[in-house]
A and B are shown apart, each in its own frame.
Chain A
Amino acid sequence: MERLDLRKLTGAHLKPYRQMDDDAPMPEEGAVLVSLERLTAESETLLAHNYPVGLLVPGQAKAADLAPWLDKVALIAIRFEKFSDGRGFSLAHRLRDEQGFGGEIRATGHLIADHAEFLLRSGVTSVELSDPLAVDHFIKRLKLYSLWYQDTLDARPTILELRHGRTRKRLAS
């Protein structure tokens, strides 16, 4: 598995996470991803461990259901079941905008390079890709776009801000 930080365009500093099945025994060390069900059921033992625990959720998960865990987990991984299923974008948006989550959101699953810019602008910060070439395609695409009309959920200016010479309210406040 390759990892890519969508803002830094490298994955060197990103931690690998192991996806744990709900009934698989926990490893001695190394970061893990667990489902919401498992985290809810075993939170005390899981969060007491000294390795980072991330939450792996499907795109259709409800942001509000994840709220109790957001300040306890190391990262949220959103799994895209199919490249055409865009629910993960709304989930990422809600985690940032509705729940105020400031940590890492990593996209996994059926991703294609054409998602790259959309993921970043919906609040996703990193991706996990199976094909090293896909990493190159992601980077190429991210470099392709320098401007966008919509709010970006990060500090990059939108076309509206550039046109009117000011910063949008949401970030300024």
Chain B
Amino acid sequence: MYRYDDYDQTIVRQRINDFRDAVERRLSGHLSEEEFKLIRQMNGVYLQLHAYMLRVAVPYGSLDSRQMHKLAHIARTYDKGYGHFTTRQNIQYNWPALRDMPDILEELAAVDMHAIQTSGNLIRNVTADPYAGAAAEELADPRPYAELIRQWSTLHPEFSFLPRKFKIAVNASATDRAAVKFHDIGLQLKNDPQQGRGFSVVVGGGMGRTPFVGPILRDFVPEAQILTYLEAVLRSYNELGRRDNAFKARIKILVHELGKEAFSEMVEQEFARLLPTADDLPTVELARIRSQFITPTFDQLPDQDADYEQALKTDDAFAHWVAVNVVPHKQPGYAIANISLKPYGGIPGDISADQMDLVADLAQTVGHDEIRATHAQNLVLPHVRKRDLYTVWQALDKAGLATANLDRASDIIACPGLDYCVLANARSIPIAQEISKRFAAKGREDLIGELKIKISGCINACGHHHAGHIGILGVDRKGEEMYQLTLGGSGAEDASIGQITGRGFDEAGIVDAVDTVVDTYLGQRKTDETFLETYRRLGPAPFKEALYGTA
């Protein structure tokens, strides 16, 4: 965990006072509703269908027990007793009152948290690999870089009124768990034999109505120059991004319309101008940030633990959970435990205050005090000793948090959809619940293996349907809620955009359609082939035939 110093604290406190002031100016009529909208968004306050919501930043998805307890407290005191983890590693409260917002922000500040820049047309909360610091194959912990960028982008004087929102993700493993290719800027850490550590920089990825797998704008930027390079990209975007049409305002459209080469040339020119006077302070600062991270002191353990092995043999449910939700850790004797927030038939990402407290307690007692939120709307205990896994699982199981479905059919990402969102065409959550129940009931998940289903209630694609192995998109057909199906997307290192199968389905039909697609896969797959591999090998034809019959 990164520990705030007095400066970080002061920034957050100043911003709260500022927000109080803005609320007062709004109430006294000195800010128009339109002007206030922008300011509240910059502070994480969004207007939904029924009420205001507060989106709290969980920078790069990292939390400690103190912070998780605070989130539980806020859920109990100011909301209806639960919170909702989002696809950008944040947590959202759907029911707090506007007048309580500044007080909630004070509560958050007490544990080094805030809601700054979780909404609005500016650089949003920076996301990163949820397994950071634990993954066996990572080059380095990506979080210090993400923290450097968080600070640099916080209340940035020049980049707080951009054409549109701007999302940056950092990944440091060969496996991409941060969806870097679908971000406005995606940073992939790499080692260069001559220049040392740096980033390959993806610019202009995104979802929405015009999805793009972002192109690599520069193959290598030394880590010491990364803020300078970001400055060059952001300045070019701020000056040239379209402001005439909100749907064409993202950087992906600018890169697409200008062409990658022309945009890159512009950025290179600005980068070259900035480099000679660029300061080395960020590099010095990176070292300080690293030292401000509390990194766990791991026990020196043998990789195998007799009691753990015994529990695996005697308790099938535990063994099943381990097989599905637990992944290898870089440290012998340790494991990474994924906590699914996708109980069968539940609302993806929802978690009660009591469950938050339990996760916090587990982290504190047996998890080196670390918790992560993932972009798939789940949680992670990144550092658990194998010998503690059985205790952890028992506690999770009692609290309804031990669903063994990581990356399985029922581990669905869904946006808020028509249940909460003003822009929605159709409901997302009930579809997720029905699909989840369908696969739970049949118990086919183990047979199917890895399958990522993602659901958005409209073309804005908050539920990442473009990147789903199976994607579902809510559309409006003459006032009726309908769903389109896309196949073959991926948000990982092999990123791709799903293709639409054909005409849409109604609420009941879409669940059957998913079933049909999965059956087709099971019938056609070769040994050990995942759904995505089978789809890529066969193409859409057999799936279309199964869905619509031969034309």
Listed in ascending order, the chain A residues whose CB lies under 8 Å from chain B are 60, 83-87, 89-91, 93-94, 98, 112-115, 117-122, 133-134, 137, 140-141, 144-152, 159-164, 166, 168-170, 173
Contact = CB atoms under 8 A, between A and B. Distances in A.
A90 B239 contact: yes
Given A98-B273, A115-B161, A149-B155, 17 more contacts: A84-B121, A90-B238, A91-B239, A112-B31, A114-B35, A117-B157, A118-B155, A118-B158, A118-B160, A122-B157, A122-B158, A134-B30, A137-B25, A145-B18, A146-B14, A148-B11, A149-B11
Given A85-B243, A144-B18, A150 B11 contact: no
Contacts of A144: 14, 17-18, 21
Given A86-B238, A89-B161, A140-B21, A164 B10 contact: no
B14 A137 contact: no
6 nearest CB pairs, A to B: A86-B161, A121-B157, A89-B158, A118-B157, A159-B7, A169-B279
Contact of B161 (A84, A166, A168): A84
A114 B34 CA distance: 13
B279 A141 contact: no
Contacts of A149: 11, 151-152, 154-155
B284 interface: yes
Contact of B38 (A83, A122, A137): A83
A98 to B, nearest CB: 7
Contacts of A150: 152, 156-157
B281 A160 contact: yes
Contact of A160 (B31, B121, B238, B282): B282
Contacts of A114: 18, 22, 35, 38-39, 42
B35 A83 contact: yes
Interface in B1-25: 5, 7, 10-11, 14, 17-18, 21-22, 25
Contacts of B154: 149
A86 B158 contact: yes
Main secondary structure of the interface of B (DSSP, over half): helix
B239 A60 contact: yes
A133 B161 contact: no
Given A85-B243, A112-B35, A162 B7 contact: yes
Interface residues of B, number: 42
B52 interface: no
Interface in B153-183: 154-162
A93 B5 contact: no
Nearest to A92: B158
Nearest to B9: A147
A146 B158 CA distance: 18
A140 B284 CA distance: 34
Nearest to B158: A89
B447 to A, nearest CB: 51
Contact of A147 (B11, B25, B35): B11
Contacts, number: 117
B157 A148 contact: yes
B277 interface: yes
B100 interface: no
B238 A168 contact: no
A169 B277 contact: yes
Contact of B284 (A91, A98, A134, A164): A164
B14 A164 contact: no
A162 B288 CA distance: 13
A93 B235 CA distance: 10
Nearest to A168: B279
16 contacts: A86-B238, A87-B243, A89-B159, A89-B161, A89-B238, A90-B235, A91-B239, A94-B235, A112-B35, A114-B42, A115-B161, A118-B157, A144-B21, A145-B155, A169-B277, A169-B278
Nearest to B234: A90
A16 to B, nearest CB: 24
Contact of A85 (B152, B158, B161, B281): B161
Nearest to B5: A163
A133 B238 contact: no
A84 B239 CA distance: 13
Contacts of A145: 14, 18, 155
Contacts of A119: 157
Interface in B276-315: 277-282, 284-285, 288
B145 to A, nearest CB: 15
Nearest to B18: A144
B14 A90 contact: no
A91 to B, nearest CB: 8
Nearest to B38: A84
B285 A164 contact: yes
A148 B152 CA distance: 9
A163 to B, nearest CB: 6
A115 B39 CA distance: 10
Nearest to A153: B157
Interface string B199-216: 000000000000000000
Contacts of B121: 84
A168 B154 CA distance: 19
Interface string B234-275: 010011000100000000000000000000000000000100
A1 B243 CA distance: 28
Contacts of B238: 86-87, 89-90
Nearest to A133: B30
A160 B14 contact: no
A164 B30 CA distance: 40
A134 B285 CA distance: 37
Contacts of A164: 281, 284-285, 288
A86 B42 CA distance: 14
Contacts of B279: 151, 168-170
A161 B158 contact: no
A120 B157 CA distance: 8
Given A159-B7, A164-B281, A169-B277, A141 B21 contact: yes
A102 to B, nearest CB: 16
A141 B11 contact: no
